Amino acid sequence: MQIDGKQYLSVWFENERVKMIDQNKLPFEFRIAEYSNYLEICDAIREMTVRGAPAIGAAGAYAIALAAQNAPEEKFRAYLRTARDELIATRPTAIDLRNGVNYVYEQTIKFIPDYRHSRQVAILAAREFAKKSIDDCYQIGKIGSEIVPQGARILTHCNAGALATVDWGTALAVIRIAHQQNKDIFVYVDETRPRFQGARLTAFELEQEGIPHTIITDSASGFYFWKKEIDLVITGADRICLNGDIANKIGTYEKAVLAKEHKVPFYVAAPFSTFDLTTKEGADIPIEIRDEDEIKRINGTYLANPGSPALNPSFDITPAKLITGIITPKGIFKPKDAARQVQI
Ligand SMILES: CSC[C@H]1O[C@H](OP(=O)(O)O)[C@H](O)[C@@H]1O
């Protein structure tokens, strides 16, 4: 992604350290955070310094590579197993995290007790996972742009951009490439309470690339559907089940219901690292419940009644029946057929 004319990835491995754009500071401050051990990356994922399903998948992959560099040889496998389990436990919903961590873990332990080779393979495997994510997201953008009509007004929710992946994005990869194809698109950006990934991160990415857009409150989208100002909805996903149900940022489900009511196509864009072939349907996906203070406070200042409790599920489930198609690196598929593409 271009930031002030310079090319960046959201997360990368350099000089034996994992580096990432601090997404909690954007768009007000551009800061690169860097870590030398996997425990710091566990905190970074929990605190959403890095966030977005494919981005935390890559961060987890690099964290295992870092663990392999630091693991004492006398307990190499046990140290890596602990790192794997602690990283996967940081955020339960996005399946890319488990997929990225497990991929590098499995590749690395194959070479024990050749510890030097294991350490080299760990870094190569993590870099391979991240590079495949970038390539998959670019393909998603190219394939997805085919369903974007000229002059389309597109609603998107949360941030499914380059910041939520390693580069390009998923929903925003489609939007970026449609813009590059001069399709004259306009984007309605849901602010996405309570952490404002839309108002802060999606709006930042779109402004950086000169893509016309407006921020709206989450509750305003219904009004723009009613005004017939939304032609298409494209979101990302955090987990896609065997039957095509998806988990995505809280508020996605209601956009899908509105889209159905107003006969507007609702697409989900995701790489294959977001598919979970071990989960049959959406009801089986663990939903991350985050701290109530994310709702009640901003930067420590209360904006809600301090004495009242708040419920803060970070994701919801959108059933396959509300999804027009799932945009993958291999093509666009009906939800019920998408998971099969991963198996092929
Ligand atoms: C490329 S899809 C990213 C996906 O992850 C976001 O969640 P979070 O910001 O909590 O990591 C959101 O659900 C996006 O759609």
Tens of pLDDT along 67-124? 999 999 999 999 999 999 999 999 999 999 999 999 999 999 999 999 999 999 999 9
First to last CA, the chain: 31
Show which of 111, 138, 165 is a domain's final residue.
138
Phi then psi dihedrals of residue 126, to 5 deg = -65, -40
Same domain for 159 and 123: no
Six token digits for residue 288: 């991350």
Query: Dihedral through CA 257, CA 266, CA 252, CA 197, nearest 10?
Result: -150
Same domain for 132 and 203: no
> How many structural domains is the chain composed of?
2
Same domain for 215 and 94: no
Look up 276 and say whether it is catalytic.
Answer: no
CA 325 to chain centre: 18
Ligand 1 centroid – CA 180 distance (Å): 24
Helices 53-70, 76-88: crossing angle, 10 deg rounding: 160
Question: What pLDDT was estimated at residue 344?
Answer: 47
Same domain for 298 and 213: yes
- What does pTM read for this prediction? 0.97
The answer to whether residues 264 and 235 touch, using CB atoms and an 8 Å cutoff, is: no
Question: What pLDDT was estimated at residue 342?
Answer: 85
Same domain for 202 and 119: no
| CA dist., res. 220 & res. 208, Å (int) | 24
CATH of the domain at 260: 3.40.50.10470
Whether this model's ipTM surpasses 0.85 comes out as yes
Show which of 138, 172, 187 is a domain's final residue.
138
Same domain for 315 and 231: yes
In terms of residues, how long is the chain?
344
Show which of 138, 157, 192 is a domain's final residue.
138
Ligand 1 centroid – CA 80 distance (Å): 27
194 lines ligand 1 (CB under 6 A): no
| CA dist., res. 262 & res. 287, Å (int) | 28
**Angle at Cα 314 formed by Cα 333 and Cα 255, nearest 5°?**
50
Same domain for 152 and 120: no
Same domain for 197 and 116: no
Six token digits for residue 265: 């196509």
* Owning domain of residue 189: 146-343
Using pLDDT thresholds of 50, 70 and 90, give the confidence band for residue 343: low
| CA dist., res. 325 & res. 336, Å (int) | 9
